[in-house]
Amino acid sequence: MNKKKLILFSCRDPACGFNIRNFILNSDLLKKEVIDFKIICQEPCSYVFKNNYMINNSKIRFIPTIKRKKTLLNEATSIIEEFYPDILICGISGSFFGIDEALLKICNQYNITSFGIQNSWGDFNKSFSSEPDIYLVLDKKAKEITKKNSSKKIKVIGSIKNESYTNKKFSKIKQQIREELNIKKKELVFGFFGQDINQKYYLNILRYYLNYYKKFFSSSYFFYKTHPKENNKAEKLIEDSFINNKDKLIIERGELCMEKCLVLCDVVASLFSSCIREHQYIIKLSKEPIGIPLFLMLDNNARKYYFQKTNLNEIPFSKNISLVIKKEDDFRFINSFSKISSMKKNIRDQILKNTYVKNSNSKKLLKYILNFDGERC
């Protein structure tokens, strides 16, 4: 009897965790009798899989954060020698280093075919100087950027994480979540979505955004979605800003799924989080104007970091289908209720004209991955 093919998944970044979870569920991998899989999950990604009733815990191994590279490589070697997978599918878009990068290096040494899931345009962590055999990227723009920095194969797959969005009624979801939080239909919600950036400019930019909110919309709600990898400085800054009106502050630490967080907000603001791309995709699928994607790029150091990290000279697909705030005066475009309403409509109109991220098809992707097995670059 032939041995089952074994796919090893690895994820430490939550965005990659959601990609992998959705891929497993949407590709019907759970029903495949000739394929087995294991998931290696490292903090801060664990919450994506813990208490997930759809994927049996016996398929998942949770490992702690490991700060020393040598220890991490030893752990990765031990995992590969225990399971000896046919295929590795891992994240490649987290900051610092972790089990994804270590497993990728060891799989290269053991001649195991590897696929790297890219969460954002051109984003790739080279901590261990190893690349996947095949990059799985969002769209043609991501392929173009990645191609400039790698000679490896690149496959455009669309958004795995958003594959299930197609059939969702976002206007209804928005209404339901607002009712749960006792927020009236016409009340505005200003969102700030955290990132794992431990830099002075991060808090400075947050202060600009808070000042804008207080100046023009202090009677509206402020929604803060924490990032599992960021420290508590941003949360403290926000809480201190709402000492006198705590009833207008909502802090979300992981209870709500991302799509509900995004549809709740009339303004979805972050420095350059991939959640803004998700929000644009939701706007495209929604039957009515639902929000404004807002890139907060008010600091030269923030812009420099982003462009160096991604090898870009601009934020992809930001023109007309989002608002990029480069200086404080740019907030004038959204400093009243009527301007917010008008901007939401204009952005949705532009997004409908510009299809930029296609939906992924996990079943086709699984077939591609299995057929690629053994064709190392």
Which pLDDT does position 277 carry in this prediction? Answer: 86
Q: Is the pLDDT score of 347 beyond 70?
A: yes
- Percentage of the chain exceeding pLDDT 90: 60
Q: Is the pLDDT score of 1 beyond 50?
A: no
State how far the Cα of 58 lies from the Cα of 75, in Å rounded to an integer.
19
Which pLDDT does position 233 carry in this prediction? Answer: 93
User: pLDDT tens across 189-237, in order?
Assistant: 999 999 988 888 999 999 999 999 999 999 999 999 998 888 899 999 9
Which pLDDT does position 377 carry in this prediction? Answer: 42
Q: Is the pLDDT score of 129 beyond 60?
A: yes
Locate 194 and state its tokens. 């955290």
Mean pLDDT of the chain: 89
For residue 132, cis peptide bond before it (omega within 30 degrees of 0): no
CATH code for the structural domain at 5-162+360-372? 3.40.50.2000
Fold of 164-353: Rossmann fold (3.40.50)
Please check whether the two domains, 5-162+360-372 and 164-353, share a CATH topology. Answer: yes
Confidence of residue 2 (pLDDT cuts 50, 70, 90): low
State how far the Cα of 231 lies from the Cα of 245, in Å rounded to an integer.
24
- What are the domain boundaries of the chain? 5-162+360-372, 164-353
Give residues with Cβ within 8 angstroms of 71, minimum separation 6.
none
Which pLDDT does position 256 carry in this prediction? Answer: 83
Q: Is the pLDDT score of 79 beyond 50?
A: yes
> In which region does residue 273 sit, left (phi positive, over 0), alpha (psi from -120 to 50) or beta (all else)?
beta
Evaluate whether 133 touches 153 at the Cβ level (below 8 Å).
yes
User: pLDDT tens across 183-199, in order?
Assistant: 998 999 999 999 988 88
pTM of the predicted structure, to 2 decimals: 0.84
Confidence of residue 14 (pLDDT cuts 50, 70, 90): confident
Angle at 239 between CA 234 and CA 241, to 5 degrees: 100
Confidence of residue 162 (pLDDT cuts 50, 70, 90): confident
User: pLDDT tens across 235-246, in order?
Assistant: 999 999 999 999
State how far the Cα of 373 lies from the Cα of 377, in Å rounded to an integer.
11
Q: Is the pLDDT score of 69 beyond 70?
A: yes
Query: What are the angstrom distances between the C-alpha of 220 and each of 115, 215, 324?
Result: 44, 11, 22
Number of other residues whose CB lies within 10 A of the CB of residue 270: 22
Q: Is the pLDDT score of 80 beyond 90?
A: yes
Q: Is the pLDDT score of 135 beyond 90?
A: yes
R_g over Cα of the chain: 21
Q: Is the pLDDT score of 3 beyond 80?
A: no
